[in-house]
A = this chain, B = another copy of it.
Amino acid sequence: MRASIIAIGDEILIGQVLNSNAAYLSTKLHSIGIPVHRMATVPDSEAAILHEFRYSFSRYDVIIATGGLGPTHDDITTKCIAKFFRSGLILNKAALGRIKELFRRRKIPMPEINIQQAMVPKISKALPNKVGTAPGILIEKNKKIFCALPGVPAEMKSISENSLIPYLTARLKRAGKKLSIIKFKTLHTIGIAESKLFEKIGDISKIEMKSRGCEIKIAFLPANFEVRIRISAYSDDPRRADEGIASAVSKLRRKAGDFIYSYDESPIEKVVGDILKKRKLKVSVAESCTGGLIASKITDVSGSSGYFPEGITAYSNKSKIKLLGIKENAMKKYGAVSKHTAIAMAEGIRRRSGADIGLSTTGIAGPTGAVRKKPVGIVWIGYADKECSFAKEFYFTKDRLRNKEIMSKMALELLRRKLLGMQI
């Protein structure tokens, strides 16, 4: 059983809203073993809608449409469904009752036009909408299942959870189909190039796992110096899928374990926070080019006050000198963007805050500010604890915001690697 999701509406086509409905439905369908093989967005036009219906019916088993069920003139989905299935519209009294009740509760009179939202194709089942006016429309014909849902996300979700997904689940059971289960797991890496990671890992999709009733796929998903590794497991048996994923994870861990910071979608700041908490260590940060973003990331984690006493954004040289005790002569000699300054900042914030660890950044976020031998995108990340101090240099992009983001994450990754005794 394979699904197609069709979004109907100009709002998505002109780029005003993202099609979050399709992502939500896809996650739900995958969770019950129905893979989504197609998503399409078409305008509020009868020809376009009917064409997409025809196409999806010719190739997929479950077709879900969202949008165009509202009460106004530009909502034509119901009309198109009636035409496509050659089934006239009839008034669904239960649906009308719910619409009237909704307006009663809101203590406003029901406009006449809402009545037509209770008109559904004769061959359909109306799925109750608990949070809005338009019912869902469910049709089963020629072994295909079609469902139209409202485009308002809260209504789409409510009908999906309460009616559509339970219906599909029961339907799959009734058909006695042993289903293809799909499970996913995503591992996260920072600061290693996609191609390098691929070289380390190779095409592990070739691993022989079909014999154990599970097929595994690996995908590399790069974005701004981070690469996620997604494992997909296809099986008839949920246990086999879990086993397949566990086996793939352990293979990946062996081949690239040092680079994988998260096995459970935790962001780097949470991973580092958990290590600090466990070791009862505290970190303070002194930031220049990252401008407070490391502190902000650390404090995104609830409970971070337990291991993060303070952060200083020392944006001007004066404040580096005054707040962090950097020696003016040394900064003049080596420059604000230098190994020496990065280490001095890390040591300075450690000393003044009394934390176990000091972490620092100094670099050029851009787009301007490059000087000789110091291009935009350079960053020195400094580290200091009671035993040692060091700094490491990285080169990123010319884009200020991308730089701030990846420099901050790289600093946290460096801290993670140091805490875990990995090569830096």
A interface residue numbers (CB < 8 A to B)? 7, 10-20, 22-27, 30, 35-44, 48, 55, 70-74, 103, 105-108, 110-114, 130-131, 152-154, 182, 184, 186, 193-196, 198-199, 203, 205, 217-224, 230, 232, 287, 290-296, 298-300, 302-305, 308-316, 318-319, 323, 353, 365-368, 375, 377, 394-402, 404
Contact check: which of B108, B112, B232, B292 meets A296 at CB < 8 Å?
Answer: B292
Q: Is the CB of A195 within 8 A of B114?
A: yes
Report the minimal beta-carbon distance from A196 to chain B, rounded to whole angstroms.
5
- Which residue from chain B places its CB closest to the CB of A41 in the assembled complex? B39
Contacts of A19 in B (CB 8 A): 18-19, 22, 39
Q: Is the CB of A291 within 8 A of B300?
A: yes
Q: Is the CB of A220 within 8 A of B70?
A: yes
Number of copies: 2
Report the minimal beta-carbon distance from A8 to chain B, rounded to whole angstroms.
12
Given A40-B39, A219-B11, A315-B311 contact (CB < 8 Å):
yes
Distance A79 CA – B133 CA, assembled complex (angstroms): 47
7 extra A-B contacts, CB within 8 A, seeds A130-B398, A131-B398: A10-B230, A14-B182, A105-B377, A112-B195, A114-B195, A292-B298, A304-B315
Contact check: which of B20, B24, B73, B111 meets A196 at CB < 8 Å?
Answer: B111
Q: Is the CB of B311 within 8 A of A313?
A: yes
Contacts of A70 in B (CB 8 A): 194, 220, 222
Contacts of A395 in B (CB 8 A): 105-107
Q: Is the CB of B106 within 8 A of A366?
A: no
Give the 10 A-B residue pairs with the shortest CB-CB distance, closest first.
A291-B299, A292-B295, A15-B26, A311-B313, A111-B195, A15-B27, A292-B292, A310-B319, A39-B41, A292-B296
